Amino acid sequence: MASRSERPRALLTGCHGFTGRYVTAELEGAGYDVIGLAHDDDPPRTGVLRANLLDRDAVRRAVVEARADVVVHLAAIAFVAHGDVDAIYRTNIVGTRNLLAAVAEAEHKPRSVVLASSANIYGNAEVEPIDEDTRPAPANDYAVSKLAMEQMARLWTDQLPITLVRPFNYTGIGQSESFLIPKIVAHFRRGERVIELGNTDVARDFSDVRDVARAYAALVAKPLRGIAVNLCSGIGHSLDEVLAMMARIAGYAIDVRVNPAFVRANEVKRLVGSNARLRALTGFAPEIPLEETLRWMYGAAE
């Protein structure tokens, strides 16, 4: 086994986030020495560099210190209903540009740069499944910020081997209850009899975060240039199906009440993707069934 100094180095932004913890484990398992990049407000940790992505000089210093062979950029404001719209655009576009500029200027160039975009850029697509050639139609500020990030990143593809990853919905242990699936699971785990939700006539392509982390690790190993890749299971599930699965797991049905405050005006009704390109490039795509993911989350230790 290679010594730590001989192992390839991976710079991972958003290392403290929900996805970042799982991607760290996958990259380490694949033989990388993972150097995290976390917000400058985060407490110091061994192996983690700190920099605010909006601080160009701090990002440049961190990139030079990391001397990364591969870069995985997960850091973003990823909650669609985040209240600070300005922060969404600054972080997701300007922050990503600062990182790419620093990586491009560094003496040590990575062989692979993977950027997390979002399937939200497709909006209310009229085709199913959605492939990477589907025309973007973003329906909220988060989606617009990610599409703009992709366009900006393409300016760097002559200098860097950039892969644009468009994850569809995914979930797992550790995801905030501000997201739908963890909220539903938490209600059942607490034995609550009533849950308030927004739009219930929606369907999503849900993957397991463990599969998503494996897909990121597989894409890192395939240096591409300006290619967009969907990260999805290819299977759509309605909220009614999710609630029925949880009723089977928990042994009771919950009373669903629609709270108008949770209803989004521009809600994307269906979002189901094609993972054909991901499979063709890596031989891998998410395959853990949603009900298995829900059982894993429901059975998690407090």
The DSSP string of 212-241 is HHHHHHHHHTS--SSEEEEE--S--EEHHH
Between CA 237 and CA 84 the distance in angstroms is: 30
The pLDDT of residue 80 is 61
Q: Residue 142: what residue type?
A: Y
The CATH fold of domain 4-172+208-233+273-286: Rossmann fold (3.40.50)
Beta bridge partners of 196: 257
Task: Locate all alpha helices (DSSP H) within 231-285, ordered by sequence.
Answer: 239-250, 276-282
Between CA 188 and CA 184 the distance in angstroms is: 7
The pLDDT of residue 88 is 94
The pLDDT of residue 12 is 98
Nearest to 41 by CA among 16, 72, 71, 11: 16
The pLDDT of residue 268 is 73
- Cβ atoms 193, 254 nearer than 8 A: yes
| Domain positions in the chain | 4-172+208-233+273-286
The pLDDT of residue 3 is 47
For the chain, 302 residues long, give each residue's pLDDT as a single digit of tens. Answer: 444 568 999 999 999 999 999 999 999 999 999 999 998 777 777 889 999 999 999 999 999 999 999 999 999 987 666 568 999 999 999 999 999 999 999 999 999 999 999 999 999 888 999 999 999 999 899 999 999 999 999 999 999 999 999 999 999 999 999 899 999 999 999 999 999 998 777 899 999 999 999 999 999 999 889 999 999 999 999 999 999 999 999 999 999 998 888 777 667 788 899 999 999 999 999 999 999 999 999 999 65
- Cβ atoms 8, 33 nearer than 8 A: yes
Between CA 271 and CA 124 the distance in angstroms is: 7
Question: Which distant-in-sequence residues (6+ apart) come within 8 Å of 198 by Cβ?
Answer: 258, 259, 261, 262, 263, 264, 267
Structure token pair of residue 12? 């991972």
Rounding to the nearest 10 degrees, give the CA dihedral for residues 201, 287, 18, 252: 50
**Is the four-CA dihedral 102, 104, 106, 108 of positive or negative sign?**
positive
Between CA 269 and CA 250 the distance in angstroms is: 27
The pLDDT of residue 195 is 96
The pLDDT of residue 126 is 83
